[in-house]
Every structure is written in C-alpha cells, then in structure tokens.
A and B are shown apart, each in its own frame.
Chain A
Amino acid sequence: MDSHSIIGTKNKKGQTFTDPYHLFFEAPRIPSFFTGSEVIKEAIRRASVDLMVAYPITPQSEAAALIGELYAEGYVTDYMRGENEFGVMSECAGGAFGGARVFTTTAGPGTMRAMENFPMWSGARLPIEMIVTCRGINSPLSIQPDTLEIYFLLETGMLVWHAETAQDFYDWILMGFMVAEQPDVHLPIAICCDGFFVTHTKDVVNLTPADMCLPPYDPYRSPVPCMDMECPPVRMMRDPFVMKSNYISYATHASWQQEVRAAIERSRKHTIPLLHGLIETENVDADILIVSSGTAVSQGREAIRLLAEEGLRVGLVKIKSLRPWPYHEIREATKSAKYIFVPEFNVAGWMAREIKATVPDSDRVIAGPHVAGGMTMPPEVIVEHIQRALGKSVATLAGRGS
C-alpha cells in the first residue's frame, strides 16, 4: 500500500488519513483534561494501529485496558492479551513480522521479563512502539516510579525517548510511529514516562481532532522481507551462519549490529524536525545547569524558580531522546557551564554517567540528587543539592536522613 495515495481518504471509523506534518503542526488542537493513561488511549485512537498486545502491570494497566475499549469501538484492528510480558513482546514481533503496525505498553518488572525480545526486535528491524511507564524493578516489590529500567533499554538497539509531560507523551506516541517506520530507520521505539507522575495525574493536553488519524503502516517499505520464513532474520536461528566460528560469520554479525546502530543515528534526520531537536534548552549561558530527562526536568524547572528567588541563575537542558543520544547537542549546550547537575529518579545515576561520558571536563558533572523506589523529588531537594555543592550552608531537609 502506498501511504501517500491514501491521504485524504477515510478509514472504517470515518477518520481521515492525514498527512502527519499537518496532523502534528497545522491541525487544530483541542484542550482536554486527561490522565496520562487516557492520553495514551487518545493517541492510539488516532494512530491507525493494527495490533495491540496487552498484559496487566501497574502503572500501565489502565492504558492497556483503555485500548481494549478502542478495540471494542473498532479503532484498533486486533487486540490480544499475552500470557506474560515475554509472551506479549513475542506476539508483538509476530504481528510486526507480518506487516502490522504494533503497539504495546509495559512497566518495571514487565520490561525486565521481556528483555530478550528487545534486541531481537531491533535486529529484526521491527518498528514496534512500546510505551514504558517506568516503575521500580527491585525486590521488595515496588509499584512506584523509578527510572532504572530505562538504563537496561539503552543498548537494545531501540530508539528510546523520555517524555516529561502528558503533552509530550501524546505527541510522541504519534510521532514515534512516523520516525520508527522510516525505511532508513525501521527500528522499535520505547517511549518512556515516569509512572504515576505522568500516567495517573491529570493535565491539560492539547489533542488533535479525533476525526483525523495517521496514515497506515506500509510494510512494503520495510528494509527486510516481510515474514519470509526462508530468509534471515525470521529463520535466523535455524541458519548455520549464526553458529559458525569463522571470520565471515563474525563479519556478518558485526555488520548487522553496526547497521542497527547506524539506523538509530539516521533517525535524527526524522526526529529533529518533529521533536524540535533532541534536547530543549533554557538559559544555557548560566554558570549552573540542570540537565536531565522526564519528570526530573519538571522538578528542575521548579528548583530553578526557587534558586532565582535567591538570586542564583540556573539554566536547563531537557533531554528528550536517549537513543539516539544527543552527544553534540549536549556538548554545545553545556560548553559554558561550570556546574552541571543531573537529578534522577533512580539510585544508579545512569544519566549522570552518560553525560560525564559526553562532555569535556567531566568533573563539572555533579550527579544527583537521586531519589528512588517511588520517592518524590521536591524541588527543595534539588536546591539543597546545588547549594551544598556550591559550598553554601544549608539547613538539612527533614526526613531524608542526610
């Protein structure tokens, strides 16, 4: 199917297949007061999805159930429940191998349980979109927000974006399909948000009209044959070259892996015009910067406001895309900074490590503050962290044990 020739025609629900750029940037927007989960539903209503595979795990369960309603209403062609997250992601692969636009949602331990599938998806060049509503992955069990699972996704060969707000989430769910399905990209995409903070709070989100939808996926533009059981990657595990110990077998695998990573880099060309850059910046000429992604950015904004009241000017770098990693953009944005603070909702501080590996004079990067296991990050905690690092005397905040 040629997706261009279908623009302007209607689907069975009476929605008009709309040029994506018109849908994203020119079509009227309707302010609506929704939870993040409801926003996922509304984005998928407009996304011409062929298959959604669902499995309950907090905090994405509500979104998965709401998309079941879309299936009942006829907006999603097929809807299945997997036996577990590994099964879900495997079924997603089957649907995508068959040429369908596939969507799923997961979180925390579900992401971890399904992990084997993600490099398989990218190696097989399957442009599946997966929502990750991040939560704790540790024992004892936690259902609360925590972004550690994102770190595990970074080298799977997937595109990884991290939304700050429900509005980001709505727009990026739609835009993600358009980037992931480009023939020179054609990779799975994980669109992450911080669970509960985004999924279970209400916000005003500007929605595109419900009678407009994305053009359908065109499997004939795929860089690999569609469901060809005679050819890798579908038949890959039966193929002897995979198991051979010889130079050309290694060269094939190395080239294959390089090609997946090259495709991530090629996605920049399509992502930058849609997301208006891989990062967003404010006052980066300041000596002090807060650099992070997701909800930590929102808390950083509040901290910047509090610090401004005390006469301290602090700039902000919001990282939208984690893969591709905005290496040059971050170096440019942080070139004048004397201090780079990286607040994170996880115990490991993986974002700070990524940034340290990116900028020159990495001693400028000060990891933290970190909260984990579902703790909130009051802006006062960021303020205290910055003031302490600058050598200012601060009153210890109650209840943090520091």
Chain B
Amino acid sequence: MGNALPDPGQAHINGRIVPEEEAFEEAARMFLGGTVPTIFPGPLVLWAWNEKAKKKAKAIKFLYETLKECAPREAKPMLIPMPDYRPKYPKINPEVEINPNHPNLTIWHNKIDVCMFVGVHCHQANLSLKIIRGGTNCYTIAMCAQAGHEDACLSFRDASVEKIMHLAEWVKKLKDAVPFGALKKHVAALEKKDHAGGTRN
C-alpha cells in the first residue's frame, strides 16, 4: 500500500519502476500470452466529452482490433466497457459491462486472465484493481492518464493516443512470438517464487 509511482517516462511492473519501453513490451507479451485478454474502457474514453477522448476511443478500438488480429487463434480477446460507477443491483450483466464495485464477477464469469483499464477515474480504477488483485488471478494493466496505479500488476502513466497506439505496435511486433497460454506459465512461475519466499521484484 502506498507504493511509489513512476515518474514521467517510466512505468511500473509489479511495483518495480522501469523505463516505459520495457513496460510496453511486457504488456504486449501479457496480452498475447493470455487466453482471454480484455480491455476495460471507462467513462473518460467512452463518452465524447472532448476531442482528446474521441481520439483515445479510436485508438483503443484500434488496439482491440490489433489484439484480435495478432492473438493466438485459441485466444478470445474482449472489449467490456465500464460505462459508469453505480452499483448494479440486483446484479450486473458481466457479458455487457464491468462495475468497479464487483469487478471480480466479470473476471470470473468471462475467465479473463489479463486485462487493461483505460479511461477510468483513478479512484475507481484503484478500487477495482484492489478487488481484482484480492479475489482473482487476473493480470492487470493500467493505461493511466495521470500518475499511474499502484494496484495494477503493470501501470503506465500520462496515457495518450500515441501511447495506446505504441502498445498496439508492440502487440503487432510480438505476433507469433508468444505461445498461447504463456501467461498462465508466467503467473505460475511467479506464484512458485512467492511460495519459495522470494519477492516479485
């Protein structure tokens, strides 16, 4: 709690501050190594409230299309929006949307093993990421427009159209380089290290 966040030009991977480029490669590998890589766009990019939001939304759609094109044939990329933050009762439809108050339901229901938050207000993103971290094995990526997220497994900061497109470029670059299910092995290795008393950093 209260991890140091990256400075401009940096990102973090499991709390370790790294040059941004390293995080782009890692994020692309995670996306391509997952069985259900999923993007969760939030209200800040779902609604056309300014020109930047419109451009970001297009970039996110492009990233999703790139992911579908480049992911292994067996993978099932998804795009599930977080349109607002109201608690949904009696229950949310996890096929249609994710909600920050019970994001684990969407992860469990769709068997999502790697996901990226983008365009979600920072507090709501951290809330969701904490619950996901506590209740699922999903690898979380945050494409944050502000200072980054300590609760994500990997976080960028100062997200822009260019950064989203750059991540798409990395996904393209690593097409066929990451075997299907590689994420599962990666997470298993991390867990083994944890059980052995090591640290993830």
Residues of A within 8 A of B (CB): 125, 182-184, 186, 221-225, 230-232, 235, 239-241, 248, 251-252, 255-256, 258-259, 261-266, 268-269, 324
Q: List 14 A-B contacts (CB under 8 A).
A: A183-B146, A222-B121, A225-B85, A231-B86, A248-B101, A251-B131, A252-B101, A258-B130, A259-B127, A262-B1, A262-B126, A262-B150, A268-B2, A268-B4
Question: Quick check: B87 and A259 within 8 Å, CB to CB?
Answer: no
B86 touches A230 (CB 8 A): yes
* Contact indicator B131/A221 (Cβ below 8 Å): no
> Contact between B86 and A266 (Cβ–Cβ < 8 Å)?
no
Interface class of chain A by DSSP: helix
> Are A240 and B130 interface neighbours, CB within 8 A?
no
- Chain B 1-18, CB-CB to A under 8 Å as 1, else 0, gives 111110000000000000
Instruction: Contact check, A182 vs B126: say whether CB atoms are below 8 A apart.
Output: no
> Does B84 reach chain A (CB closer than 8 Å)?
yes
Instruction: Kindly identify which residue among A125, A184, A231, A261 contacts B85, using a CB–CB cutoff of 8 Å.
Output: A231
Cβ–Cβ < 8 Å partners of B146 in chain A: 183-184, 221, 223
- For the complex, is B195 an interface residue (Cβ under 8 Å from A)? no
Min distance, Cβ B165 to any Cβ of chain A, angstroms? 22
Contacts A184-B5, A262-B126: A232 and B147 contacting too (C-beta < 8 A)?
A: no
Q: Tell me, rounded to whole Å, the shortest Cβ–Cβ distance linking B152 to chain A.
A: 13
With contacts A248-B101, A255-B127, A263-B2 known, what are 16 further pairs, Cβ within 8 A? A182-B147, A183-B122, A183-B146, A184-B146, A222-B121, A223-B146, A251-B135, A252-B87, A252-B102, A255-B134, A259-B126, A262-B126, A265-B2, A266-B4, A266-B150, A324-B2
Q: Give chain A nearest CB distance to B66 CB in angstroms.
A: 29
Cα of A225 to Cα of B102 in the assembled complex, Å? 19
Complex Cα distance, B101 from A25, in Å, reads 43
Residues of chain A within 8 A (CB-CB) of B89 are: 240-241
Q: Report how far A390 CA is from B122 CA in the complex, Å.
A: 52
Most buried by A among B102, B121, B123: B123
A125: chain B residues within 8 A (beta carbon): 123
* Chain B interface residue number, banded: 20 to 34
Name the A residues within 8 Å of B43 (CB-CB). 225
B residues with a Cβ closer than 8 A to A are: 1-5, 43, 84-87, 89, 101-102, 104-105, 121-124, 126-127, 130-131, 134-135, 146-148, 150-151
Task: Find out whether the CB atom of A252 lies under 8 angstroms from the CB atom of B121.
Answer: no
* Cα(A261)–Cα(B130), bound, Å: 13
A248 to B148, CA, bound (A): 25
Tell me the smallest distance from the CB of A217 to a CB of chain B, in Å. Answer: 15
| Contact between chains at A252 and B131 (CB < 8 Å) | yes
A147 CA to B134 CA, complexed, in Å: 39
Closest to A270 in B: B147
Smallest CB gap from B150: residue in A: A262
Closest 10 CB pairs of A and B: A265-B2, A223-B122, A223-B123, A241-B87, A184-B147, A183-B146, A255-B130, A262-B1, A231-B85, A248-B102
The listed residue (A224, A241, A251, A324) touching B123 by CB distance below 8 A is A224
Given the complex, which residues of A lie within 8 Å of B131, measured CB to CB? 248, 251-252, 255
Bound complex: CA of A261 vs CA of B102, how far in Å? 21
Q: Which residues does chain B contribute within 8 Å of A259, judged by CB atoms?
A: 123, 126-127, 130
Flag if B87 contacts A269 (CB, 8 Å): no
Collect the chain B residues with CB atoms within 8 Å of residue A266's CB: 2-5, 147, 150
- Looking at the complex, which one of A239, A251, A261 makes contact with B1 (CB distance below 8 Å)? A261
Chain A residue at smallest Cβ distance from B5: A184
Knowing A184-B122, A256-B127, A259-B130, say if A232 contacts B85 (CB, 8 Å): yes
Docked pose: A269 CA to B147 CA in angstroms: 11
List the A side residues contacting B84 at CB < 8 Å: 230-231
| In contact, A265 and B1 (Cβ under 8 angstroms) | yes
B128 to A, closest residue via Cβ: A255
Cα(A268)–Cα(B150), bound, Å = 14
Closest residue of B by beta carbon distance from A246: B102
Contacts of B134 in A (CB 8 A): 251, 255
A165 to B97, CA, bound (A): 53
Which chain A residue lies CB-closest to B125?
A223
Cα-based distance from A223 to B104 in the complex (angstroms): 21
Which residues of A have CB within 8 Å of B126?
223, 255, 259, 262
Interface centre among A235, A241, A261 (most CB of B within 10 A): A241
Chain A residue at minimal CB-CB distance from B147: A184
Contact A241 B1 (CB under 8 A): no
Residues of A within 8 A of B1 (CB): 258, 261-262, 265
State how many angstroms separate the Cβ of B129 from the closest Cβ of chain A.
9
Q: Complex Cα distance A223/B85, Å? A: 12
Q: Which of A235, A240, A248, A261 contacts B2 (CB 8 A)?
A: A261
Q: List chain B residues, Cβ under 8 A from A221.
A: 146
Contact at A269–B121, with CB atoms within 8 Å?
no
CB distance from A164 to the nearest CB of B (A): 26
B124 in contact with A239 (CB, 8 Å): no
Least Cβ–Cβ distance between B79 and chain A, in angstroms? 22
> Is the beta-carbon distance between B102 and A262 smaller than 8 angstroms?
no
Is the Cβ of A224 less than 8 Å from the Cβ of B101? no
Q: A264–B124 Cα gap in the complex (Å)?
A: 16
